Amino acid sequence: MIACINSPRHPSIETLCEWLQTAHTPWEGGVMYMPGRGAEVRCSLWAVSALRLAGRRLREEGRLVEWIRELQNPDGGFGYWVGRGSDMTSSMSAVAILTSLGRDANNEIDHRSLTGFVMRCLRPDDAAATPRGLSSGSATAQASYILHSLGQRDLAEKTANCLGELSIMSGFRETRASLPSLYATYQALLAYGQNDRLPMSSSSLDRFLAKLVSKTGEIGWTPLQQSGQDPLAVALFTLLKRKADDPAFSLPVLALTA
């Protein structure tokens, strides 16, 4: 849905927005990923961001905020749903939901313990998804986003600057041994954007996006994967292309994993 918001060629924005409203589960406060499944914090953020891009809001925001409060784990982080261990993607999702709804995360959750969780995931030159996990570009970008949202601006910028080591071919990658990807590049731009910086020119971003398109027009996650087009890849590509065409465009906040 998020790729076709505000597109005059798409006739069913209202229908899609209403579907997202009904995905807000009546028996718990989050938004479910698909019918018959429980609520998940990551797709709750996707729903909030998609509705916001369409100029709409979730009808029962209070229930979602209360669910986020209850989702915080004793270690300070957040998991995908109640009972799941903490990880960086879920933690960023929780913070981004609150921020997108106009709430101050410092007032809604235990920000000190969340900061502690993020600090335990930081490495000298990057960050990991969990305190004992492997480092990645996505986790580094997400850590920077969380720290910035909690007021740790200097540390957030320092963490975002670590992403420079993962820049290649005008895109960003998960590790130094991997190819640049759509999801890693999208999250790097979100992290840099909080510091009012674009780490590449619009023409450089355009060149990277062009490398993802096959001769038949299919969009891949990386320059070497241009077949079996994924709907999410199309969405991220569309949003990044809009950013390349209009640097002032604010990318919807999405927390992604490899």
What tens-digit pLDDT sequence spans the chain (258 residues)?
A: 454 444 545 548 889 899 999 999 888 899 987 766 789 999 999 999 999 999 999 999 999 999 999 999 999 999 998 889 999 999 999 999 999 999 999 999 999 999 999 999 999 999 999 999 999 999 999 999 999 999 999 999 999 999 988 888 789 999 989 999 999 999 999 998 876 677 778 899 999 999 999 888 899 999 887 666 788 899 999 999 999 999 889 999 999 876
Rounded distance, CA 126 to CA 165, Å?
A: 9
At a CB cut-off of 8 Å and minimum separation 6, what does 83 contact? Answer: none
Q: 41-53 and 61-71 are packed helices; what angle lies between their axes, rounded to 10 degrees? A: 150
Tokens found for residue 100: 């997108």
* pLDDT of the residue at 182: 94
* pLDDT of the residue at 6: 46
Tokens found for residue 209: 């996006």
State the pTM of this model.
0.91
